[in-house]
Structure 1
Amino acid sequence: MKLYSSIYTGPLLAALLYSGVASAAYSTAHSPMLLLSNDSTMNFDLLTPLGESITGGGDVGAILGAAKDIKAGNMTSFSEVFYKLANDTKAQAEDPENASDPVNVRDTWFSAASYYRKADGYLHGNWNNPLINRLWAEQMKAFDKGIATLPIPGKRVRIPAHKSNFTVEAIWYSASKSKDEKLPTLIIGNGFDAAQEDSYHNFVAPALARGWNCITYEGPGQPTVRRNQNLGFIPDWEKVATPVVDYVLSEKKDVVDKDRLVLVGNSLGGYLAARVAAFEPRLSAVVLIDGVWENYAAYARELSSEMRAIYEAGNYTQFDKTILSARKAGKLPTGAAWGIDQGLWSFHTHSPSDFFTQTKKYNVSSFIHKIKMPVFVGNAELESTYVGQAKKVADALGDRATLHTFKGVAGFHCQTGAGQELSRTIHAWLNKTLGKAGNGH
């Protein structure tokens, strides 16, 4: 959700924050595809469920119908349209005539869950909005009904982070019914705002089809942990992922090939996964979609020189007042409004300056030299958040890294809308690096 000058006017708005990590947008003049909304931020947020539809996370016609009904730039409209669509789809899933067909049930429940997640996306400016928890409970129930009908049902697990004050929320997916077939396994984490339920559509379904076990997980700041445990992001992410590795190599040791254990980090997860890789030698490889060098630089580049000077001089009261006043007055474009809302909520602060200060801790420079395993570094040609950072990560890793640039319609942040190209590229690299699933190591 980049703040292009064509979207807004005036020096105040030009000074404001952009932090749309998981919903990066692009100008209509430079888009290589037909747009779903005249609001570039909402266009991206419509492209997300449309992309997930290839693995059952939505129905193309329903999403295009929602795009038609949403008022561009109106965040309330976006939420209301998807809330209605979610409820209508839930009713279809509950129709007794569908109950005898598990495929009908699965895809319909997955779609309902996806629509509830989209209805939630613009609500986080008011932490007391009851819909934040109500919609999430609905999406989790719908998603659980979906994974219960998989050929091998997915299973939610809660993994205590014994040295920390939180519990990791995870979902385990088996690729085989055999209880002693050791298969390659993906550990999959998202970033700034996407849910582990999204990871099923973007990473798990393609991996299961290729014979890979998967486990998705969430830690502090991410959707379910932020809600249920009231915790914001932490930079030392090994405290989150190491317990997941422990779980996989102990509870699932009979079905996991420990020599093909791969960590995936998506969006801000590109930083989080890199951090884990530096301190977790049991991993065989790491996939970063996309490469992240430092968060503060990504966000601060969206400030005017005047606003950045105010922040860096330590004039936090002025900085906060300027941003929050504009947000309250409804003067911000969608990308800035969403970015502020989501950033404050997920980092658990009411202060934009504190949010910026926290992002400075998310920098790989101090530990990237400790990463010893092979690393796939995704780079998006049209990236508008971590601009130039993927190459910097790959250069620092040297011969340990494979840098791949996704272009054209696959060139948006995290290859949103191009799931087939993303999956085949990742798995071609994994096959080359670690060996094909089912062939041993």
Structure 2
Amino acid sequence: MSLAILQSPSSAKAEEEPILSLSSDSAFHFEVLVSLGEALYGGSDLAPVLGAAKNITAGDFDSFSQAFQKLAYKTKDQALDEEANYDPINVRDTWFSAATYFRRADFYLHSNWTNPLINTLWDEQTQAFDKGLASLPIPGQRLQIPADNFTVEAIWYEPISRQHKNGSSKRPTLILGNGYDGAQEDLYHTVVVPALARGWNCLTYEGPGHPTVRRKQDLGFIPDWERVVSPLVDYLLEKRSDVVDKYKLVLFGFSFGGYLAARATAFEPRISAVVLDGGVWDCYEAFSPNLSPELKELFDAGNKEAFDEAGRQILDNPLVPSQARWGLAQGMWAFNTLSPYDFLQATKKYAVKDFISQIKVPVFVVDAESEGFFSGQPQKVKDALGDIATLHTFTGAEGYHCQAGAFSSLNRVMFGWLNKVLPK
């Protein structure tokens, strides 16, 4: 039996991809594209990533990790050399690239929780990223913000010019969260850099289930995400009130973060607008159709033992598509359960239909032609929200999940919308 917990970001064959194929493995193609995309805002370099990709064997997770480990340590050595002849831009860009490569090296390792590389590589990426933060014109600040029985990991960024164009020192502020697997560090190379250039403050964060909180606090995802976001709003309005415009607080959710941001907005009235990239209607509804008929029957019958046995056999089976193996492994790790059955049951709690009517602020819902993960769901979110929501669909080469490789396009469209809906 086979289990495909998640669809591939693009189910197309190599010759049908909307761009030049980067791997015969569609999952690897997408992940390499993500790494290339971060080059636009200082998170990687094109030729080194393509060089690593050349040495990756399709379907081989260890091969993927080893290729990016090699690149990460080489780049780290270059960064250490740069420090000897200190140039802040060289130091920043080289350390940020090293951090990206360490994150990529970790990506496919979560099927074996005892693998020491899960923490070793993450420590490396954190140390490298912090070197980059310290070299920014206004250094980014790591924060630990107390929440309800856990701590939110966050990073605060301010633009170089502290005065807004209207003469006020108070600025619009983005609160940015990632999703199923992404780190807050990735968000710097996705949205933070162009937001700072536009004069916005940014606060990125990680809650339970996200990479650092999962490692440091051993906590998996929780559905009531307002428990994560409300303490962030408290922090901004209490500790950063001199530079934060309370009428321009925007929440951004990436990927599975589209559910998380929607949930938080429904229960946090101080949010001014929300961006859902993409719109997530129901996680179980997205994942369960990809079960084989045999496994769906086991799951619906509540046969946990047999379902778990079948699921675990998939994790190390190279004949199963990479996206399915990774999707199951990452889900179990991020939801903090060793049971495939319990993981899939948990996804039933992540649906917006029970609270979406409580969202009262403008919503930007992002869809993508090659979405794959939550195909068809952004339209459902838009329909349920009605006139307060704007749906934008990216197509063609821009139409991968979360606009991988097209972050400039994402930011142009998103900030154009924000300029329209926020108070002047």
TM-score by length of 2: 0.96
Q: How does 1:245-394 map to 2 (within 5 A)?
A: 245-394=233-382
1:329 Cα deviation from its structure 2 partner: 4.3
Counterpart CA distance in 1 for 2:333 and 2:48 is 29
2:247 partner SS: strand
| 1:166 matched residue in structure 2 | 150
Instruction: Report how far residue 312 of structure 1 moved.
Output: 1.1
Are 1:157 and 2:157 matched, yes or no? no
Q: Does 1:95 align with 2:85?
A: no
The aligned counterpart of 2:387 is 399
Per the alignment, in what secondary structure is the counterpart of residue 393 of structure 2? strand
Q: What CA distance in whole angstroms lies between the structure 1 residues aligned with 2:243 and 2:23?
A: 45
1:37 is paired with a residue whose SS is coil
Q: Does 1:124 align with 2:113?
A: no
Structure 1 unaligned residues grouped into runs of 5+ = 1-11, 436-440
Query: Are the aligned partners of 1:160 and 1:168 in contact in 2 as well (CA < 8 Å)?
Result: yes
What do the CA deviations read for 1:248-267 (whole angstroms, capped 9, x no partner)?
A: 11100110011111000000
Equivalent residue number for residue 5 of structure 2: 18
Q: Which amino acid aligns with 1:175?
A: P
Alignment of 1:55-74 (within 5 A): 55-74=41-60
- C-alpha deviations, 1:160-188, integer Å up to 9, x for none? 00xx2210000000114548710000000
Q: Distance in 2 between matches of 1:96 and 1:349?
A: 42
Of all paired residues, the percent bearing the same amino acid is 57
How many residues are paired up? 419
Moved over 3 A (4+): 96-99, 176-180, 328-331
AA at the equivalent of 2:6: S
Give, in angstroms, the shift of residue 423 of structure 1.
0.5
SS of residue paired to 2:290: coil
Indicate the residue corresponding to 1:30 in structure 2. 16
Equivalents in 2 of 1:241, 1:390: separation in Å?
22
* Contact 2:111 2:315 (C-alpha < 8 Å) held by counterparts: no
* Distance change in 2, residues 1:97/1:215 (3 Å): closer
Partner of 1:184: 172
Question: Gaps (5+ residues) in structure 2?
Answer: none
Q: CA deviation at 1:306?
A: 2.8
Tell whether the 8 Å contact from 1:109 to 1:146 is kept in structure 2 after alignment: yes
Q: For the residues of structure 1 that align with 2:420 and 2:240, how far apart are their CA atoms?
A: 25
Q: Which position in structure 2 is the counterpart of 1:114?
A: 100
Give the direction of change, closer, same or farther, for the CA distance of 1:96–1:314 in structure 2 (3 Å limit). closer
Match of 2:68 in 1: 82
Alpha-carbon separation, structure 2, partners of 1:413 and 1:192: 13
Deviation at 1:330, TM superposition (A): 3.9
Q: Give the secondary-structure state (helix, strand or coil) at the position aligned to 1:95.
A: helix
Distance 1:394 1:229 in 2: 35
Structure 1 residue 287: deviation in Å? Answer: 0.3
CA contact (8 A) 2:59 2:318 kept: no
Contact 1:222/1:346, CA 8 A, preserved across alignment = yes
State the SS of the aligned residue for 1:301: helix
Other structure's SS at 1:403 match? strand
Contact 1:263 1:273 in 2 (8 A): yes
The alignment's C-alpha RMSD in Å is: 1.4
Question: Please, which of 174, 198, 212 is the counterpart of residue 186 of structure 2?
Answer: 198
- Please give the per-residue CA displacement for 1:183-222, whole angstroms capped at 9, x wherever unaligned: 0000000000000000001110010011110000000010
Deviation at 1:305, TM superposition (A): 2.7
Distance 2:80 2:93 in 1: 12
